[in-house]
C-alpha cells in the first residue's frame, strides 16, 4: 500500500465518523452555550434584586437539539455536503476562526461559571492538580474543547454562504457600483481618521451623544461569543431585542483583532477598524438598494444623509441591523433561492427581532394554507436557532423579558413612570382610551417623534447641549416629542403618494411595509419615541429609496435630475457639515484624545 493509498484509506474510514462526531459535538455546543446563559437576574430595571440559576435549561436545550442534529446529519447530509463544498481557503479560514471561537468560549465559560457560583453563594471551585478529573471546572473546559468539530462545520457553512454572496455581488457589479465603493470608502476613511485621531467619544461614551451605546457595543458586543455579566442578563448581550447579536459581532472581533495586532503602532487602531467594517457594511447596503430601485442617484443622496454620516463615525449596532434587513429585502426583490431568503430572514431577525416584520414577504405559497406552512417552517427554524445557540431562556422567560423591556423603556414609551404594561394583556386585548387632554398630549408626542424620525433620515433635526437625569452635559436633540417637524410631514405625504402610484412593484411593497412598521413602533406604540432619530439608519434604508422612487416621477430628464438631486444633496450636505462642526467641538471638549 502506497502512502497516498494509506491516507486515502484512513480518510475514508474517518468519514464514517463525521456524523456521530458532529452530533455529539453540536449537542455539547448547545449545552455549553445554554449554560453560559443560565443565570437570570430578577430586577426592577434599576435595582437588581435576586439571581436565579437554571442549569436545567442546558439539559433541556441539549435534549431538544439532539434529534435536530441527528436529522441534519443523516436526513439532510449536512456534514458531508459542507465538507464536500469546502475549498482549501474555506477550510483554513474556518479552522482559524473556529480556534478563536472555542478559545473565547473557554474564556466566557470561566467568567460565567464564576458568576453562577456567585449567584449560588458558593465558592468558585479551583482546579486541583491532584484530582483534575473530579473537578467540575475541568469538565467544563473539556466540554468547551469538544465543541470544536461542530463549530468548525458551522463556521465553514457560514463562510461558504457569505463567500458566495460576496462573489455574486462582485461579479454582478457594474462600473458605477465599483466606482461608488471606492469613492465612498475614501470619504468614510477620511471622516473616520479625522475624528478618531482627535477624540474618543465615538467608542468610549454611553448616552452622551444622542443616547448612542457606543462604549457598550465596543466593549460588550464585539469581544464576547456567548455571554458576559458585566451588565444585566437581557440587555447585556442583546436580549430578546437582539437575540443573536454576539454571533455576528464576534467574527468581526476576531478579524479586527488580527489586524490590530499587525498594526499595533497606530493609536486607537481597534475602534478605527470597527468603524471601517461598519462603513463597508453601509456601502454594500447602498449598492443593494441601488439595484432594488435602479437609480444611481441613491449613491449621492444616501451617502450625504444624516444616518450614513453619523453612523460612519459612531460604533453602534444599527449598521448591522439595517444591513441584514436590506440583505433579506434584496434577496426577495431579486428572487434569490428560498434557502438564501431563509438564512437572511433569520439573520435579520436575530440581529434585531423587529426585523421579523419583513417576514410578511417570505415564501412563494399562493394559498393561505401554503403561506401558513411556510411561516410555520421559518418560525420553527428561528426558534431552533435560538435554542441551538444557547438562548432557550429567551423563549422560556419571554413574558418576563417582555415585561422588563416595557419597564425599561416605560418613560420613553408611554411618557408616564406610573404605567406598567402586562404583555399578555396588552397583546390579547384592545382597549380604546378615552380622549382626554392627557391622552391627546400622548398622541401628539408620538406623532412628533415619528415625523422627527422621518426628517432625521435625511438631515439632523434641531439639537443642543442639555442636561440629562444624571446632571451631565449631553449632546441631544432639542425636542423630539415636543415639536412637529414640517419636513417630516412633507416626506410622509410624499411617500404615501409614491406608494399608491408604485404599489405593484415588489421593492415599493417592502419599503412600504417597513414604513408601516415605523408608524407602529414610533407613532402607535411609541417605543423609545423620546430618542426616535437614533433609529434613523434602521428606517432610512426604506424611507430614502421610497422618496427617490417618487422623485423619479418628477425629475425625468438628465438636466432635471442633475439640478434637483444636486440641490437636495447640497442642502443635506450643508446641514450635516454644520452638525459635524458642532458635534466635533463638543467631543473635543468632553472626550479629547489624550
Strand segments (E) across 372-495: 463-467, 473-477
Candidates 85, 87, 83, 94; CA nearest to 18 is: 83
What pLDDT digit, counting tens, does each position of 33-62 carry? 888 887 776 654 445 556 677 888 889 999
Summarize the confidence of residues 137-141 as an average pLDDT: 75
Distances (CA, A) of 99 to 43, 152, 254: 36, 8, 10
Higher pLDDT, 214 or 123: 214
What pLDDT digit, counting tens, does each position of 325-366 carry? 999 999 888 877 778 888 899 999 999 988 998 988 887 777
The single residue listed with the C-alpha cell 436565579 is 52
Strand partners, 473: 467
Strand segments (E) across 317-471: 463-467
439 falls in which pLDDT band (50, 70, 90)?
Answer: confident
Return d(Cα 516, Cα 509) in angstroms, integer: 10
Distances (CA, A) of 147 to 121, 144, 150, 209, 358: 29, 5, 6, 41, 33
551 falls in which pLDDT band (50, 70, 90)?
Answer: very high
Return d(Cα 64, Cα 418) in angstroms, integer: 41
What pLDDT digit, counting tens, does each position of 210-237 carry? 888 888 888 888 888 876 555 444 555 5
Summarize the confidence of residues 393-407 as an average pLDDT: 76
The DSSP letter of residue 144 is: H
Distances (CA, A) of 591 to 215, 265, 407, 408: 12, 22, 31, 28
Record the cell numbers describing residue 452, joined without a space: 422627527
Give the per-residue pLDDT at 424: 45
Q: Is 145 within 8 Å of 102 (Cβ atoms)? A: yes
Give the per-residue pLDDT at 435: 66
Higher pLDDT, 235 or 391: 391
358 phi and psi angles, rounded to 5 deg: -70, -15
End-to-end CA distance of the chain: 67
Handedness of CA 537, 541, 542, 546 (dihedral sign): positive
Q: Is 543 within 8 Å of 454 (Cβ atoms)? A: yes
80-89, 531-540, 541-550: which range is least confident on average? 80-89
User: Do the strands 48-53 and 463-467 form a parallel or antiparallel pair, or are they unpaired?
Assistant: unpaired
Return d(Cα 110, Cα 140) in angstroms, integer: 9
Amino acid at each position: 500500500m502506497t502512502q497516498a493509498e494509506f491516507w486515502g484509506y484512513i480518510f475514508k474510514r474517518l468519514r464514517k465518523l463525521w456524523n456521530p462526531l458532529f452530533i455529539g459535538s453540536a449537542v455539547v455546543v448547545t449545552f455549553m452555550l445554554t449554560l453560559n446563559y443560565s443565570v437570570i437576574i430578577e430586577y426592577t430595571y434599576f435595582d437588581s434584586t435576586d439571581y436565579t440559576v437554571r442549569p436545567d435549561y442546558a439539559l433541556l436545550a441539549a435534549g431538544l437539539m439532539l434529534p435536530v442534529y441527528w436529522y441534519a446529519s443523516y436526513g439532510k447530509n449536512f456534514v458531508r455536503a459542507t465538507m464536500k463544498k469546502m475549498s482549501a481557503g474555506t477550510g483554513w479560514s474556518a479552522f482559524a476562526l473556529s480556534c478563536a471561537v472555542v478559545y473565547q468560549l473557554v474564556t466566557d465559560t470561566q467568567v460565567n461559571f464564576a458568576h453562577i457560583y456567585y449567584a449560588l453563594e458558593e465558592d468558585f471551585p479551583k482546579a486541583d492538580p491532584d484530582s483534575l478529573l473530579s473537578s467540575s471546572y475541568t469538565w467544563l473546559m473539556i466540554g468547551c474543547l469538544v465543541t470544536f468539530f461542530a463549530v468548525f462545520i458551522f463556521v465553514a457553512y457560514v463562510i461558504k454562504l457569505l463567500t458566495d454572496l460576496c462573489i455574486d455581488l462582485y461579479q454582478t457589479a457594474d462600473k458605477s457600483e465599483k466606482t461608488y465603493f471606492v469613492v465612498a470608502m475614501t470619504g468614510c476613511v477620511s471622516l473616520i481618521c479625522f475624528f478618531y485621531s482627535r477624540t474618543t467619544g465615538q467608542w468610549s461614551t454611553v448616552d452622551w451623544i444622542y443616547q448612542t451605546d457606543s462604549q457598550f457595543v465596543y466593549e460588550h458586543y464585539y469581544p464576547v461569543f456567548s455571554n458576559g455579566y458585566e451588565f444585566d442578563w437581557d440587555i447585556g448581550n442583546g436580549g430578546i431585542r437582539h437575540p443573536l447579536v454576539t454571533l455576528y459581532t464576534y467574527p468581526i472581533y476576531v478579524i479586527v483583532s488580527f489586524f490590530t495586532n499587525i498594526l499595533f503602532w497606530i493609536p486607537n487602531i481597534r475602534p478605527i477598524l470597527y468603524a471601517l467594517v461598519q462603513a463597508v457594511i453601509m456601502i454594500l447596503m447602498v449598492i443593494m438598494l441601488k439595484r432594488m430601485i435602479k437609480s444611481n442617484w441613491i449613491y449621492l443622496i444616501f451617502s450625504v444623509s444624516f444616518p450614513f454620516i453619523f453612523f460612519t463615525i459612531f460604533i453602534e449596532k444599527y449598521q448591522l441591523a439595517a444591513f441584514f434587513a436590506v440583505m433579506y429585502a434584496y434577496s426577495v426583490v431579486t428572487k434569490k433561492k428560498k434557502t438564501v431568503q431563509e438564512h437572511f430572514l433569520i439573520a435579520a431577525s436575530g440581529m434585531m427581532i423587529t426585523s421579523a416584520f419583513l417576514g410578511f414577504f417570505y415564501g412563494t405559497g399562493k394559498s393561505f394554507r401554503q403561506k401558513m406552512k411556510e411561516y410555520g417552517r421559518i418560525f420553527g427554524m428561528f426558534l431552533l436557532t435560538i435554542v441551538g445557540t444557547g438562548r432557550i431562556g429567551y423563549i422560556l422567560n419571554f413574558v418576563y423579558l417582555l415585561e422588563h423591556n416595557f419597564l425599561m423603556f416605560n418613560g420613553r414609551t408611554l411618557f408616564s413612570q406610573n404605567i406598567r404594561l402586562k404583555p399578555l394583556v396588552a397583546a390579547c386585548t384592545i382597549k380604546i382610551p378615552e380622549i382626554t387632554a392627557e391622552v391627546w398630549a400622548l398622541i401628539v408626542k408620538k406623532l412628533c417623534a415619528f415625523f422627527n424620525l422621518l426628517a432625521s433620515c435625511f438631515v439632523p433635526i434641531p439639537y443642543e447641549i442639555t442636561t440629562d437625569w444624571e446632571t451631565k452635559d449631553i449632546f441631544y436633540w432639542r425636542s423630539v416629542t415636543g415639536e412637529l417637524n414640517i419636513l417630516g410631514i412633507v416626506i410622509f405625504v410624499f411617500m404615501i403618494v409614491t406608494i399608491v402610484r408604485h404599489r405593484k412593484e415588489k421593492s415599493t411593497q417592502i419599503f412600504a411595509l417597513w414604513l408601516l412598521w415605523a408608524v407602529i413602533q414610533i407613532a402607535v406604540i411609541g417605543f423609545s419615541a423620546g430618542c426616535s432619530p437614533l433609529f434613523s439608519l434602521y428606517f432610512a434604508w426604506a424611507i430614502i429609496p421610497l422618496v427617490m422612487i417618487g422623485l423619479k416621477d418628477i425629475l425625468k430628464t438628465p438636466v432635471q435630475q442633475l439640478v434637483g438631486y444636486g440641490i437636495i444633496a447640497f442642502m443635506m450636505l450643508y446641514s450635516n457639515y454644520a452638525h459635524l462642526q458642532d458635534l466635533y467641538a463638543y467631543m473635543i471638549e468632553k472626550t479629547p484624545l489624550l
